[in-house]
Structure 1
Amino acid sequence: MQVMRSWAARSVPWIGLMGLLGSAQQASAGDYGGSPQVTQFIGEMTRDYGFASDQLNEVFREVERKQSILDAISRPAERVKPWSEYRPMFITDARIARGVDFWRQHEAVLARAEREYGVPAQVIVAIIGVETFFGRNTGNYRVIDALSTLSFDYPPRAPFFRKELREFLMLARDEQLDPLTLKGSYAGAMGLPQFMPSSFRAYAVDFDGDGHINIWTDADDAIGSVASYFKEHGWVAGQPVVSRASVSGPQVDDGLSPGIDPVKNVGQLRALGWSSHDALRDDLPVTAFRLQGAEGPEYWMGLKNFYAITRYNRSVMYAMAVHQLSESLVQARGVK
């Protein structure tokens, strides 16, 4: 990663520094220099956040509009896969084996993260495994190209991505990083844990104490940042994630949660024909859901830590994939 030592120093022209940084600045002229939308955005960043307009103008002269990103985000939604198809995408022998290796390689750091944040090592490893296959697939787009394309050429979500672009420029300034070199997904998610810029600024941590937060190539910082994220989103140390349920009777479907948020407690579900396989308090709020598994319908109660996982990605199946991958990692690590 290239470091910008004087980003925030308005008295030192950034354009002079950028000439020292190499490849990114040798690209062909970008697509946003002189754009009225970008001019307005730069004015806001200068007025509200203390950036120098000449520095930002120089950056945006190098930014490129990516039609492939607009094509990807505008593509019609695919058929929602049932759990029987979704699970095998993430719970694979290759991902489990790589996860065990990652755990062993970073065992001390993972143990420290678990002590400090209360988040089990296997959950942290599973998140990184599901998100990027332990760093194999972190994205090949320049983050600033992705966020600018979606901010200025994708009206349906422009406000969201413009906020993320603002956060990205601020994190690059905070960390003294060259914004033209940082890579991520087509939506601007970054590094081993695929943090959006706003999540980076809110939850990422310098877990190795080197003075910089690097979730792109520093596994220590990525591990600590995932743990920090979960703690801030309500992870409860030592508590389970889900409980399997048996069901009977005509009112079972009335117990299903309409979304991710818990709307009924265990006692209310019991009255509708749900029975947890674990001892749970009647007053405990849970997310009640059904998955179409390989052997038929599966009924589950998601607990507080399940809800915490859905703060990372608001999907029941995503949360279950993370949870079951974490269980598989524990089992495999105990065997190997």
Structure 2
Amino acid sequence: MTRRALACLLPFALVACATNAAAPTPPSTPTPAPAAAPTPPASALLPKVPQPPERPVAPAPVTDPAIPREQRIQAFVDYAVGTYQADPAFVRSVLAQAQYQQKIIDAMTRPAEAVKPWRDYRPIFLTDARIEGGRAFYAANRGALDRIAAETGVPAEYIVAIIGVETSYGKITGNYRVVDALYTLAFDYPKRAPFFAGELAQLFALGKVEPQLDILALKGSYAGAMGMGQFMPSSYRLWGKDGDGDGQRDLLTHLPDVFASIANYFVVHGWQRGGPVAARADRDAAAADFVPESLDPVYPLADLAARGYRPQAGQPTAEGATLLSLDGEMGKEYWLGYRNFYVITRYNRSPMYALAVHQLAQAIRNGGAVGAP
């Protein structure tokens, strides 16, 4: 989720000097303006974390709201057939059974990340029940989780925390038909129609490679995400893993596949084995506000220190970070997000989501109770 940088402009002081023919008045000495926080040249920034190619989105003939709906639907059939070799009769049959859901549009316009500050967002996920549920889930599946962690470098508690945040350890995976959610958002939510129409086409492509899935029966979230880890169709198709070698990828309820797929998603997006995730930071009293343009961890810690932001004593460090400024329960909180923090934001672009996953993972691992971080 990209955030705009806020430019900090210092006004120029104009000093007028009155002159007198008999005795000129010496000019007053202007008060020095406070120094702005240093901005490093682009060459000083670190490289961005390499990412896989962007998932394809549907073209304008499918998504342009100025085009009549029936024409867009026919263009979608052509797109799904031409791109993924879907059977045209099957695509038309499925679309004929898809249903528009107004409540899906309503839900998309008010996600928690957009309307809640951190002080209200954090308590949704950092509860005693969720922490204890995560510890119990980890204990019940320790063998499989630790095996995946050893193979991939993704700690088991982060896999568990993703499942805990997404579906309360598989208890809440969504009651919308996936095809209804994607159909509604593809043809009635112009703001993100290219993405969701692309995901609808990916659903047909997924059905070809995983024929055991009945795509008309699949249930998921209002955004069309499925299973314990809430994978979108493209993520399921591209990065889902067969975790136990049975020849199928079942990310709905089959735990070996769920664990392996979440870990693989992190690895594909740049997870660093043994690397830190985030650190609480202190801000110097004289530091200027700084809002990075993105969540990419491209700022060396020395640069952030020059701006007045440093990891608190005892917190982990890394080569590069981004800076988060959040409205916490006790006031402003400052966090440094490292490479692995950025990877978690590829699962969900909200930095508050990534920080909630991180804190839940730490509580599951350490047995911590809910309270101020």
Q: Same fold (TM over 0.5)?
A: yes
Provide Cα deviations, 1:29-85, integer angstroms capped at 9, x if missing partner: xxxxx9433222222323343222222222222222222212332459887322222
Report SS of the residue matched to 2:187: helix
Match of 1:239 in 2: 275
C-alpha distance in 1, partners of 2:273/2:161?
A: 17
Report SS of the residue matched to 1:246: strand
C-alpha distance in 2, partners of 1:65/1:226?
A: 30
Determine which of 36, 47, 62 is the counterpart of 2:97.
Answer: 62
Matched, 1:134 2:154: no
Farther off after superposition, 50-59 or 256-265: 256-265
- Structure 1 counterpart of 2:348, which letter? N
Match of 2:204 in 1: 169
Match of 2:243 in 1: 207
Determine which of 142, 145, 149 is the counterpart of 1:110.
Answer: 145
Offset, 1:275: 2.5
Q: What's the Cα RMSD here?
A: 2.2
Match of 2:189 in 1: 154
Match of 2:88 in 1: 53
C-alpha distance in 2, partners of 1:84/1:153?
A: 33
Match of 2:126 in 1: 91
Offset, 1:159: 1.2
Is the 1:167–1:198 contact (alpha carbons within 8 Å) kept by the matching residues of 2? yes
Report SS of the residue matched to 2:336: strand
Larger Rg: 2
C-alpha distance in 2, partners of 1:74/1:291?
A: 22
Normalised by the length of structure 1, the TM-score is 0.82
Runs of 4+ aligned structure 1 residues displaced above 4 Å come to: 74-79
Is the 1:260–1:315 contact (alpha carbons within 8 Å) kept by the matching residues of 2? no
Report SS of the residue matched to 1:209: coil
Match of 2:66 in 1: none
Query: Across the two proteins, how many residue pairs are aligned to each other?
Result: 298
Provide Cα deviations, 1:147-191, integer angstroms capped at 9, x if missing partner: 111112222221111100011111111100211111111111111
User: Percent sequence identity over matched residues?
Assistant: 47
Is the 2:276–2:317 contact (alpha carbons within 8 Å) kept by the matching residues of 1? no
Matched, 1:316 2:351: yes
**Structure 2, unpaired ranges of 5+:** 1-68
Q: Structure 1's 108 and 279: CA in aligned 2 closer, same or farther, altered over 3 A?
A: closer
Match of 1:195 in 2: 231
Farther off after superposition, 87-96 or 270-279: 270-279
C-alpha distance in 2, partners of 1:52/1:162?
A: 17
Report SS of the residue matched to 1:321: helix
Report SS of the residue matched to 1:51: coil
Report SS of the residue matched to 1:299: strand
Q: Structure 1's 173 and 224: CA in aligned 2 closer, same or farther, altered over 3 A?
A: same
Is the 1:252–1:274 contact (alpha carbons within 8 Å) kept by the matching residues of 2? no
Q: Structure 1's 54 and 308: CA in aligned 2 closer, same or farther, altered over 3 A?
A: same
Q: Structure 1's 187 and 178: CA in aligned 2 closer, same or farther, altered over 3 A?
A: same
Is the 2:80–2:204 contact (alpha carbons within 8 Å) kept by the matching residues of 1? no
Report SS of the residue matched to 1:243: strand
Normalised by the length of structure 2, the TM-score is 0.75
C-alpha distance in 2, partners of 1:62/1:81?
A: 36
Is the 1:42–1:57 contact (alpha carbons within 8 Å) kept by the matching residues of 2? yes
Considering fraction of residues, name the structure with more helix.
1
